[in-house]
Amino acid sequence: MRFVRYGEAGSERPGVLDSAGVLRDLSEVVDDIAGDVLATLPDIDPETLPKVAGAPRLGTPVGQVGKLIGIGLNYHDHAAEVGLDPPNEPIVFMKATSSITGPNDPVYLPRGSQKSDWEVELGVVIGRRAKYVSEADALDYVAGYTIVNDVSERAFQTERGGQWTKGKSCDSFGPIGPWLVTPDEVGDVQALDLMLDLDGQPAQRGSTASMIFGVAHLVAYLSQMMTLHPGDIIATGTPPGVGMAMKPPRFLREGDVMTLSISGLGMQRQEVRQDG
């Protein structure tokens, strides 16, 4: 099933898409797509639910996100394009939850930004408390999958000392959605195509088959170091085609439009604006 949250920012309501892609209201069934609801997402016929009129804003499809965990350099072809050796263990960083926005909300360039970049990524949404889980069991803890744009200010990330978090956590740098898609609809999570276009021109093209560390490995690995809670999201790395690897490098400018998609997970669209 394809779950959504719709409405004005901070006041989103739960919803679900029917077989024709029509948005149906789920608020009489659950209060939100968040927390313990993610362990037992409602198995309901969407056709029995009221239709939602118009075309409301879509928020992130998961509410009350506790952790947004990033994985760096996790595609063989992306590592090659930036001239780095594949890591021996996953590179882990955190994105501030204040960076999270809806899938079609604007992305704002922070003051002083010169090197803001794009990264289409598969997002893994945790459905059950996961601690010390095995790789064999790891996917049983996943509620579903979504799209994350891991927008990154490269100068903040790599040229100002410290850790990557400062370049990953600017306001609006975490568009998520449009849908939370349950694993039964996704199929083989290691065979999904990823795409990002910039101003209508191809930028990123890749497949989750090129991940260095697959989804099951990442869930199990992280659960050895921190408890994963329902609603936590793992952004699993990006394929080639980022701006910093272009020759010459190409970074985001006010007025740019990013369009992202992953097989079966829908599409995002963000206009780039200057903050403040």
Domain that holds residue 241: 60-274
Query: ω before 178 within 30° of 0 (cis)?
Result: yes
Amino acid letter for position 182: T
Distance CA(75)–CA(243), nearest Å, equals 16
Residue 183 lies in a domain: yes
Distances (CA, A) of 83 to 63, 72, 73, 169, 205: 37, 14, 11, 25, 18
DSSP state of 261: E
Predicted pLDDT at 248: 96
N-term to C-term CA, the chain: 39
| Token code pair at residue 99 | 């960076």
3-class secondary structure, 7: coil
Q: What is the pLDDT of residues 30-69, one digit of tens each?
A: 999 999 999 999 999 999 999 999 999 999 999 999 999 9
* Residue 20 maps to a domain: no
What 138-143 contacts at long range (C-beta under 8 Å, 24+ apart), as own/partner pairs, is 138/215, 138/216, 138/217, 138/219, 138/220, 138/223, 139/183, 139/189, 139/215, 139/216, 139/219, 141/219, 141/223, 141/228, 142/183, 142/215, 142/219, 143/38, 143/39, 143/41, 143/180, 143/182, 143/230
pLDDT > 70: percent of the chain? 100
104 belongs to a structural domain: yes
**Environment class of residue 57 by beta-carbon count within 10 Å: exposed (0-12), middle (13-18) or buried (19+)?**
middle
Residue 160 has what pLDDT? 85
pLDDT given for residue 250 in this prediction:
97
Per the structure, the count of domains in the chain is 1
User: Which CATH number covers residue 270?
Assistant: 3.90.850.10
* 32 domain residue, yes or no: no
What is the rounded average pLDDT of the residues 189-218?
A: 98
**Where does 89-220 show beta strands of DSSP type E?**
91-95, 100-101, 107-109, 116-117, 120-126, 142-149, 152-153, 174-175, 180-181, 193-198, 201-207
- Predicted TM-score (pTM) of the model is 0.97
At 177-192, the pLDDT tens digits run 999 999 999 999 999 9
Q: Is residue 34 part of a domain?
A: no
Q: Considering the domain boundaries, does residue 21 fall inside one?
A: no
Contacts 24+ apart (CB under 8 A), 7-14: 7/56, 7/57, 7/59, 8/57, 9/57, 9/59, 9/101, 9/102, 9/105, 12/59, 12/63
Alpha carbon of residue 111 to chain centroid: 24
User: What percent of the chain has pLDDT above 90?
Assistant: 93
The H or E element containing residue 119 is none
Confidence of residue 159 (pLDDT cuts 50, 70, 90): confident
Could you report the per-residue pLDDT of 108-151, keeping only the tens digit for each? 999 999 999 999 999 999 999 999 999 999 999 999 999 999 99
**pLDDT digits 0-9 by tens, 40-50:** 999 999 999 99
235: three-class secondary structure by DSSP: strand
Q: Is the pLDDT of residue 276 over 80?
A: no
Q: What string of DSSP letters covers 30-75?
A: -S-SBGGGGGG-----GGGSPBPPS-PPB--SSBS---EEEEES-B
In the predicted model, is pLDDT for residue 263 greater than 80? yes
Q: Residue 105 domain-assigned?
A: yes
Q: What is the mean pLDDT of residues 192-215?
A: 98
Give the integer Cα–Cα distance in Å for 86 and 77.
9
Tell me, yes or no, whether 92 lies in a domain.
yes
